[in-house]
Amino acid sequence: MFSLRDYQQDLVAQTFAAWDQGTRKVLLQLSTGGGKTVIFAAIAHEFTSSGLGVLVVAHREELILQAADKLAQTTNIEPGIIKAGYKPSDSLIQVASIQTLARRKNYSDAKLVIVDEAHHASAASYRNLLDAYPYALILGVTATPRREDGYGLRDIFDRLICSISTKELIAEGYLTEYKLIAGFKYSKHKVPQKRDFTKKELEEVASDYKPEEVLKQWQNFCNGRKTMIFAVNVVHSKAITAMFVRANIPCEHIDGETPQSERADILERFRTGQTQIISNCAILTEGFDCPDSQAVVIARPTTSVTLWLQMIGRVLRPSPGKEYAIILDMTDNWYRLGRPCDPRNWSLDPVSCDPDAQGVRCCPHCHHVFKPMPALIRSQQYFNSQLAEFVTVYEVDCANCGKSFKWVLSELNLMNGQKMPTIVSPQDIEFLEVPPTIRPSLFGPIIKAKKRKFKNNQQQTDFYLKTVINFLLNCPEITLEELRYAANLLNCQLWIVGHSINHLTHTLRAAESWEEVIKIMSARPQDIKQLIWKKLSLEEQNRFNQMKQRYKQQQQELQEWLSEDNLVTMASDLEACENLEMFASLWQIYNKQALQVALERLHASSRHQILAWIQELNNS
């Protein structure tokens, strides 16, 4: 087993002490490079030594493999890996992909659940995972216990334990010294407040960090050093890579779309020194260890403290012969977000984000601003009687105070043609709830009638009755529940529903063939069919049953007529017809529907003539 450093032993001791005091969910904070994996491996060893199962969860393959390797070395147990492409194992230790667990929902038996890079734990997939282990002890580890979407970690973890600072780790030699090369040419683009840059904004700022300028500054300050470059986006990263390659500097690009095997090969070439520089977009921020990396070039701006510290932390691990690391920041991140060794006050509490950012909501109770996670938003459709339209009301629990609030998207509030949210209180909602079985898309005629103005009540009642009847007649798929809901929307008494059913029954009674019955009733739901059938007298039911039997017999006869031999014979006889009299004889002898099918086999000129004869016979 590895020998733990003093501060690592202290974190292990504090964790077990918190659990002994009844705190079930503990979050450990330790700077990048401080040895979080070693710490949770040591804690896992205490559980496996007693025969207790351990589950470790991460969101990237690099993190999964790194954790599995360290756990195997520490516990002498080969962990199982729960991820697509890996064989299942009954090992006491399982290291899992959170994406795979969320998809399979097949959770292993564990008394300890460890969440790596636990600042992601507010996401719905992690919440669902932790809900599946109500009695297990929970341990989260991260260098940066903060989110930029306004969510905190207070509702996920019960206690935050912070270790020694980056400055102390450098002073004790556990992290390397660094030189910060900072730019003083600020971007001409506006820096967002309390949120990070959007993809579109990053595309716009890419022009501030031209590939040729990245190469020039690297040659000025990092020349010959093993370097990681963080680019604005994939296009920017590829352009930087191409610029270095043209300068005969071994450089490769990696991004989220790089195939896994190719990604592994690129990272291995970088580790062994075959590749001197690796340029990436949002890939190497977490889970990639290469201690002999000597420099990092930040060619993308960010307002996220988490992302900033994750990027620059990549080169702070010590390595033999590594006197110091170089952090070349081509942005003003260093000025806005601080240096690696600056003191920081971490907390489980959420921090409000930019109120002007897309998708954010402001809690009406505590005024906290956050961006609700889609998986945590609840929605319900209502009918707004005042506006006479269906609306969707959204609801979420505040990331700060936990109280729920609702909003609707209003056309009265438009920005760039898009509906904007309007926060509403329960008292403001004078809506009629829409059950999940109701399909608002069918209710166009009802909405139109609802918005109509009338001179008197009798005119309104007459029009609503006509509307509901036509609604039932012209929309065969509506259910009895939807018919009743339509009457309710129009504030009609339920007798209108019965009157509409009677009207449809009357229409059915007038049918003279089973084909007409099919046209009227085939698409109707079972509850409507049963209701109408009960309204028919026994004599009427017998008439329809006989009609159905005749139809079945006719269909059986037609199938016989449609045999290949019969169709060939009929087509030949049709082709031989020279006048109306000859065709009239065939029209009397053969099944008329079968003749229509055989007619399709004739040449166009013959088919045209026979169609004219059919028209003449039908009119005579």
Torsion of CA 112, 114, 120, 124, to 10 degrees: -30
Which tens digit of pLDDT belongs to each residue from 139-192?
999 999 988 788 889 989 999 999 999 999 999 999 999 999 986 554 555 565
Mean pLDDT of the chain: 88
> Helices in 313-442 by DSSP H: which ranges?
333-337
pTM attached to this predicted model: 0.68
Least-confidence region, from 11-15, 417-421, 508-512, 597-601: 417-421
pLDDT attached to residue 193: 58
Q: Round to whole Å and give the CA distance between 614 and 124.
A: 67
314 has pLDDT over 70: yes
pLDDT attached to residue 603: 87
49 has pLDDT over 90: yes
Q: What is the distance, to the nearest Å, from the Cα of residue 333 to the centroid of all Cα atoms in its chain?
A: 31
User: Between 243 and 414, where is the model more confident?
Assistant: 243
User: Using an 8 Å Cβ cutoff, are 557 and 550 in contact?
Assistant: no
Question: Tell me, what amino acid is at 87?
Answer: K
Q: Round to whole Å and give the CA distance between 356 and 195.
A: 9
- CB under 8 Å, gap of 24 or more: what pairs does 403-408 form? 403/363, 403/365, 403/366, 405/361, 405/363, 405/364, 405/365, 407/361
* pLDDT band with cut points at 50, 70 and 90 for residue 503: very high
194 has pLDDT over 60: no
User: Using an 8 Å Cβ cutoff, are 169 and 31 in contact?
Assistant: yes
Question: Tell me, what amino acid is at 84?
Answer: A
Q: How many percent of the chain have pLDDT more than 90?
A: 53
Q: Round to whole Å and give the CA distance between 396 and 146.
A: 21
Whole-angstrom CA distances from 423 to 175, 360, 364 are 48, 12, 8
pLDDT attached to residue 414: 47
